[in-house]
Amino acid sequence: MKKVVKFGGSSLASAKQFKKVGDIIRGDKSRRYVVPSAPGKRSDKDEKVTDMLYQCYEAATQGKSYKKILEKIRERYDEIIDGLSLNLNLDFEFSTIEENFLKQAGKDYAASRGEYLNGMVMAEYLGYEFIDAAEVIFFDTDGSFLADLTDKELGDRLEHVEKAVIPGFYGAKKDGTIKTFSRGGSDITGSIVAKAIHADMYENWTDVSGFLVADPRIIKNPEVIETITYRELRELAYMGASVLHEDAIFPVRKEGIPINIRNTNCPEDKGTVIVESTCKKPNYTITGIAGKKGFCSINIEKAMMNAEVGFGRKVLEVFERYGVSFEHMPSGIDTMTIFVHQSEFEEFEQSVIAGIHRAVEPDFIEMESDLALVAVVGRGMKATRGTAGRIFSALAHSRVNVKMIDQGSSELNIIIGVKNADFEEAIKAIYDIFIMTEV
């Protein structure tokens, strides 16, 4: 059995955390390939090493004093090395980093050094082989990830390596220039490694015990989701639920490799397992609730709209012209409503309205701002009658006015639009009716 284990920044922020990670890895012989992030915060007032590297690089390239910041970064690693009693000296590495900063090697290079150095520390601590991600993860000259090339090269490299540490977050272009994924990209690296070695499981260790049914800032001690499908996860992640980088799903999904979200500080917790499909019955009718604030709606009315061929296309072309993407588009016989991000739309609102008038000559256009969207997601909804009725009954009981309803044909999710001011109350009401009353 082969497992890839990825550990986030909070899991590797100090020597104490490293020791927890070491115990976890040594506790299961199948945990053979390790993907570390850069050291995260040790406390709320602390700084992440990646942020410090950005600051240091900016100072160095602008001719400002950078040595104190570089020394602070060095101290973070020395503290971990000393705390683990390792015989490891990073003088050469820091000298090279300083030299490349002054040569302006790029922000991606700067950001990647946190993972690179932590990978070296982790490999020394575990006695595993260190493999620089720049040698096995590839990007095109335009920065596009080269999935097929990476899969082949990485698979070939690891085929005869029993145990290895591969730093997360970065790779390299063909000319050797370092290129990073977006922030949180170590999740993606773990997924890429899992696919390349045909892993049985990809364990993603962080500071929470899995995906939660709802945001803990809104719901006190929400339930943990035991099993979730990739499709459900995509819906929740898109609406703001963020424990795993959403792009980390794609490599393992192609191979049918499950992901297990685990808590480094509570390793006995089973966490959440993410799978392609399952016949396991969910504990509740819904799997999760997520949402975002900051939307506005543009309601377009025109008699006999449904009989006018190309009406929707003409309207959406106006939004496209101004680079505004739409989120949802519920419609009726004579009405069509477009939901967009308010911050993206405000700059172009009058131009878009004028464009719609010219394109389709509507009878009436009305806009409403300060709206929120709430997604209720769950594979269990498809086989359960009255789900929508329970949602709207709960919202009505909590005096939340519903501004929009949108349900896909998959019956996997229901999107509800409410005022920003009602956002938290809406989530509490839905959580109570589906989770608290079904316990």
> How far is residue 30's CA from residue 4's CA, in Å, rounded to a whole number?
8
Nearest to 338 by CA among 313, 363, 309: 313
Nearest to 338 by CA among 404, 418, 401: 404
> How far is residue 242's CA from residue 221's CA, in Å, rounded to a whole number?
17
What are the percentages of helix, strand and coil residues in the chain, rounded to 5? Answer: 45, 20, 35
- Annotated ligand binding at 217? The verdict is yes
- Annotated ligand binding at 207? The verdict is yes
Helices (H), 127-185: 147-158
DSSP helix/strand/coil, 247? helix
The length of the chain, given as a count of residues = 439
Contact 221, 272 (CB under 8 A): no
Question: To which residue do tokens 């025109």 refer?
Answer: 302
E strand residue ranges, 18-169:
31-36, 129-130, 138-139, 164-165
DSSP 255-294: HT--EEEEETT-TTS--EEEES---SPPSSS--EEEEEEE
Contact 214, 288 (CB under 8 A): yes
- Annotated ligand binding at 9? The verdict is yes
- Annotated ligand binding at 68? The verdict is no
- Annotated ligand binding at 115? The verdict is yes
Question: To which residue do tokens 């601590």 refer?
Answer: 125
- Annotated ligand binding at 417? The verdict is no
Phi, psi of 324 (to 5 degrees): -105, 120
- Annotated ligand binding at 6? The verdict is yes
- Per the annotation, where are the binding residues? 6-9, 50, 115, 206-207, 217
- Per the annotation, where are the binding residues for substrate? 50, 115
- Per the annotation, where are the binding residues for ATP? 6-9, 206-207, 217
